[in-house]
Amino acid sequence: MDDWQSNRRIVLPKSIAIKKHHLDTLVKHAKSTFPDESCALLFGKDEDDQVKISEVFLVENSQKSQTQFSISNEDLIRGYRDAESAGLDVVGIFHSHPHSEAAPSAMDKRFMEVNPVVWVIFSNKSGQFKAYVLENEAVPLTIKIV
């Protein structure tokens, strides 16, 4: 079994818990990179049926694209080290959709397969956040603001 497969969750979360100021930070980041997609790593803990977000780790979209995002290897390594130093895990990936709704694209779904964490998407178009995990398809989660 590949390492990434052994890290796949057994119990799918039903919700994420995130603080309002973290959502505000993500909105500001999405607006600052517009018209390109923005991205970030989400640190916290996966507690069975809920993922609790404790920190937002903003990163640059190395693709500088309006329809795709990529996080550099350097930012990923730095993010995982920072999370570990804080006693947290990387529990989610955030990105924005500047010109479309907050639903996973076909490309997002492909990347969700190899990154089995919560995916949070913000739509600059509608101002909405949505969260998903991938089972056989993208499953929406409830976002609880704490």
* Structural domains of the chain, with CATH: 17-145 (3.40.140.10)
Measured CA angle at 5 (ends 22, 136), to 5 deg: 75
Identify the three-state secondary structure at position 50. strand
* Model confidence at 17: pLDDT above 60: yes
* Model confidence at 9: pLDDT above 90: no
* Model confidence at 128: pLDDT above 50: yes
pLDDT score, position 11:
72
H-helix segments, 41-105: 73-85
User: What average pLDDT does range 115-128 have in this prediction?
Assistant: 97
102 Cβ contact list (under 8 Å, min separation 6) = 121, 122, 123, 126, 128, 129, 130
Alpha-carbon distance 20 to 9, whole Å? 26
H-helix segments, the chain: 3-6, 20-33, 73-85, 106-114
User: What average pLDDT does range 8-14 have in this prediction?
Assistant: 72
pLDDT score, position 12:
84
User: What average pLDDT does range 30-44 have in this prediction?
Assistant: 98
Helix then strand then coil, % of the chain, to nearest 5:
25, 35, 35
* Model confidence at 43: pLDDT above 60: yes
User: What average pLDDT does range 19-38 have in this prediction?
Assistant: 98
Higher pLDDT pick, 59 / 5? 59
User: What average pLDDT does range 78-101 have in this prediction?
Assistant: 97
pLDDT score, position 127:
97
